Amino acid sequence: AQSVSQHNHHVILSEAASLELGCNYSYGGTVNLFWYVQYPGQHLQLLLKYFSGDPLVKGIKGFEAEFIKSKFSFNLRKPSVQWSDTAEYFCAVNAGNMLTFGGGTRLMVKP
Amino acid sequence: KAGVTQTPRYLIKTRGQQVTLSCSPISGHRSVSWYQQTPGQGLQFLFEYFSETQRNKGNFPGRFSGRQFSNSRSEMNVSTLELGDSALYLCASSLTGRRDTEAFFGQGTRLTVV
């Protein structure tokens, strides 16, 4: 069975700081990778996804992630965060018919 | 197009009761999945339905069950509620449910068991 771990449970940044959230997964076969975001009081929304091809994927709102197969990692990055990025971020993998989520990272951006 | 709709948004139930939650997927989506979200356990997969058939099931007791109708709408039922069942229950729909398709989530139903 697959598993996902997110290294940081809570992150506090000032506006304009750079962001990198770690995500590692465990699965021996082919997976598809996702980052979802949950803004306060809102539903989970897809930030970006990796299915195949270029391991550097770009998503909405200036987010990007890099898939490093040898490290089983899919880290999320943003060069300059904004106060509106305050949310909880979830990494997920799909090996077939179900998503397995990491524990989530709560990001607080101070204005 | 309309998103994933879950009803009701909030529920308060007593221990021992049962509850049914409803999910209407995005039009054309045939796969519906259910997840439980709690502060302690995070997001955990409950089950997935495709064309009225349960294709995958998470590690939850038999008190948790579901079904899918011919119009792809899905219901989830929890019997003999326990305090630990208090959670946000999320429904997600996708075209096929396969690993290379995107899942769209509803707002969730927040269940409180007292």
pLDDT tens for chain B, residues 1 to 114: 679 999 999 999 999 999 999 999 999 999 999 999 999 899 999 999 999 999 999 999 999 999 999 999 999 999 999 999 999 999 999 998 887 888 999 999 999 999
Residues paired with B113 in a beta bridge: B13
Residues in chain A within 8 Å Cβ distance of B107: 42-43
Give residues with Cβ within 8 angstroms of B41, minimum separation 6: none
Residues in chain B within 8 Å Cβ distance of A3: none
Residue A102 has pLDDT above 70, yes or no: yes
Residue A94 has pLDDT above 80, yes or no: yes
Pinpoint the alpha helices (H) of A1-111: none
Give the residue-averaged pLDDT of A37-48. Answer: 94
Quote the tokens at residue A20: 């990198």
The nearest CA of chain B is from the CA of A62 a distance in Å of 19
Quote the tokens at residue A77: 């990055």
Q: Which residues of B touch A (CB under 8 A)?
A: 3-4, 31, 33, 35, 42-45, 48, 50, 55-56, 58, 90, 92, 97-100, 102-108
Residue A27 has pLDDT above 90, yes or no: no
Quote the tokens at residue A89: 């971020």
DSSP B59: S
3-state secondary structure B11-23: EEECCCCCEEEEE
Chains A and B form CB pairs within 8 A to the count of 61
Q: What is the per-residue pLDDT for B101?
A: 84
Quote the tokens at residue B42: 């995070």
Residue A4 confidence class, pLDDT cut points 50, 70, 90: very high
Dihedrals phi, psi of A69, to nearest 5 degrees:
-60, -40
Q: What is the per-residue pLDDT for B63?
A: 98
A59 has a chain B CB within 8 A of its CB: no
Measured CA to CA, the distance from residue B57 to residue B88 in angstroms comes to: 18
Quote the tokens at residue B15: 């221990």
> Between these two residues, A7 and A12, which has the higher pLDDT value?
A12
The nearest CA of chain B is from the CA of A109 a distance in Å of 21
